[in-house]
Amino acid sequence: MSHGKTLVGALYFARHKHGPPVYGEGALPEEARYARSGPHDLAKPTRWVGTGCLLSHRSVFEDIEKRFPRLARGADKKGGNWFTSTEASLLQRVEAVYAGLSSGPLTGDHAYKALTGLTEALAAAKAENPLGCGEDVSFCSRAAAAGHVPHVDMGLICGHLGNCVYGPGNTSIKP
């Protein structure tokens, strides 16, 4: 909270012998060495941060709902799919292309606009939410698209429960 950011995750490590730090750049050897040499008094901006220990301001969820209305809570303010790995933005863009194609005779110009729209939709969907990523990556990508930069608190180091408590002392960079 002292960093004054809307989205901050603790630094922790993946649950295996060579577990990297769980944030966007954590798999890079130089970055992993830096993370293991902490704690550091720094809230570092990152592409995504693990959500196992995460502080999110309410505005993050509200702004995700504005940017991605398909993921919003219902009228009763229950539900909310902020962490889902679905391609909600892809569906929205494909519907826009469909509406464009349905609005009149299929001319060469309509077909070209549809192809361009689908190409842009696929590129944006891959950038926003790469297939096969975890829900923490999806959530942080959506938060960033809604104006909230994810940060990792390099001074708040948490253990990650598994067969033991994984941390900087018992994980190492893969040789």
| Mean pLDDT rounded to a whole number for the chain | 88
Number of Cβ atoms within 10 Å of the Cβ of 61: 19
Say what the pLDDT of residue 59 is.
Answer: 97
Which helix (H) or strand (E) segment holds residue 97: the answer is: helix 88-102
Say what the pLDDT of residue 173 is.
Answer: 82
CA 10, CA 152: separation in Å to the nearest integer? 6
Q: What is the pLDDT of residues 13-67, one digit of tens each?
A: 999 988 999 999 999 999 999 999 999 999 999 999 999 999 999 999 999 999 9
More confident residue, 87 or 8: 8
The pTM (predicted TM-score) of the whole model is 0.76
Compute the average pLDDT of residues 116-124: 82
Phi-psi domain of 75 (left: phi exceeds 0; alpha: psi -120 through 50; beta: other):
alpha
Structure tokens given for 36 = 């293991």
The sign of the CA dihedral 163, 134, 84, 7 is positive
Q: What is the pLDDT of residues 158-175, one digit of tens each?
A: 998 888 888 998 888 877
Given pLDDT bands bounded at 50, 70 and 90, which one contains residue 81? confident
More confident residue, 138 or 46: 46
Structure tokens given for 14 = 């993946």
